[in-house]
């Protein structure tokens, strides 16, 4: 009888099937664990022990009741199933480097859109000392009473320092963006002006700085101390509809420091209005 702690052996060719390639590219955790069962002959208990996830959660994942977004968890799965490098790369992980310690990645999680990251963002905002927002209108982030962060900011004690960068409603970039998302200029810029009104109200309670920038918007960022949530704007989608990446400050982390510099440089060239 095979023990539950015995390593799972999956033939390398199993990771090269069309089914395996599809689940690796889409980071389908349930599909990956099914491969371990199908080609490694592993029970859920063996899979759980191999990848370092509780058996009950493995069961939930395979039933579709729990989603995995953390790259660190996918790293554990890849290590536990002894994935070959081509399978790791297909899943978006770095290949293994023998005899060298694995680096701590600065991308901690990838969410398909902002809505999937809301609980994580709110939890982090509740304990942050500084909150930086780079957006276009930011109504869904901080403007409305039921927006992503307004209640977290007002409920925190002490209140975090809030810095917000919004698109200048009088800039050519605002006209361009309104056309990209098929809104009238009046409606689009009216949303920015409404956000400014709501931020002035917030500033009576929370230490707040608001700046207007005039460049065509590309990045949407929510920064909390040493954590960033980053997404992008394009002609096809709004920032909250884009994949959202959770970045943390690590030694030599080029992405985190690059986005921090982008925010600071944009703020230095923007016009402060609050």
Structure confidence by residue, pLDDT tens digits, 44-96: 888 888 887 888 888 888 888 888 877 778 888 888 888 888 888 888 777 77
Q: Model pTM?
A: 0.62
pLDDT tens per residue, range 101-143: 444 568 888 888 888 888 888 888 888 889 999 999 998 898 8
The whole-number pLDDT of residue 97 equals 59
Select from 94, 120, 154 the last residue of a domain.
94
Q: Do 135 and 30 fall within a single domain?
A: no
Distance CA 167, CA 212 (A): 5
Select from 94, 120, 147 the last residue of a domain.
94
The whole-number pLDDT of residue 269 equals 94
Q: Do 67 and 202 fall within a single domain?
A: no
Q: Do 165 and 89 fall within a single domain?
A: no
Number of domains into which the chain is organized:
2
The whole-number pLDDT of residue 20 equals 87
Query: Is 6 a domain residue?
Result: no
The whole-number pLDDT of residue 95 equals 76
The whole-number pLDDT of residue 160 equals 86
Q: Is 25 exposed, middle or buried (0-12, 13-18, 19+ CB in 10 A)?
A: exposed
Query: Is 5 a domain residue?
Result: no
pLDDT surpassing 60 at residue 100: no
Query: Is 88 a domain residue?
Result: yes
Domain containing 118: what range? 111-272
Q: Do 212 and 120 fall within a single domain?
A: yes
Q: Do 179 and 230 fall within a single domain?
A: yes
CB 47 within 8 A of CB 86: no
* Host H or E run for residue 245: strand 244-248
pLDDT tens per residue, range 216-261: 888 999 998 889 999 988 776 777 778 889 998 887 778 899 999 9
Q: Which residue has the higher pLDDT, 125 or 7?
A: 125
């Amino acid at each position: 009888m095979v023990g539950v702690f015995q390593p799972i052996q999956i033939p390398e060719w199993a990771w090269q099937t069309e089914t395996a390639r599809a689940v690796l590219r889409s980071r389908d955790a349930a599909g990956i664990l099914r491969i371990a069962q199908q080609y490694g002959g592993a029970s859920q208990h063996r899979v759980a022990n191999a990848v370092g996830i509780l058996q009950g959660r493995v069961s939930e994942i395979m039933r579709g009741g729990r989603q995995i977004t953390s790259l660190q968890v996918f790293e554990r799965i890849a290590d536990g199933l002894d994935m070959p490098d081509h399978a790791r790369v297909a899943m978006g992980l770095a290949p293994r480097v023998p005899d060298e310690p694995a680096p701590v990645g600065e991308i901690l999680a990838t969410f398909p859109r902002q809505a999937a990251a809301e609980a994580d963002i709110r939890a982090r905002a509740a304990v942050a000392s500084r909150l930086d927002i780079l957006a276009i209108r930011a109504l869904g982030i901080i403007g409305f009473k039921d927006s992503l962060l307004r209640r977290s900011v007002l409920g925190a004690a002490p209140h975090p320092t809030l810095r917000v960068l919004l698109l200048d409603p009088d800039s050519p970039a605002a006209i361009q963006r309104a056309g990209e998302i098929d809104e009238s200029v009046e409606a689009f810029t009216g949303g920015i002006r409404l956000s400014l009104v709501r931020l002035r109200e917030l500033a009576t309670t929370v230490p707040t700085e608001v700046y207007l920038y005039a460049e065509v918007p590309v990045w949407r960022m929510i920064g909390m101390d040493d954590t960033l949530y980053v997404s992008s704007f394009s002609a096809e989608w709004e920032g909250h509809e884009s994949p959202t990446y959770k970045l943390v400050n690590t030694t030599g982390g080029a992405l985190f420091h690059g986005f921090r510099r982008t925010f600071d440089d944009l703020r230095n060239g923007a016009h402060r209005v609050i």
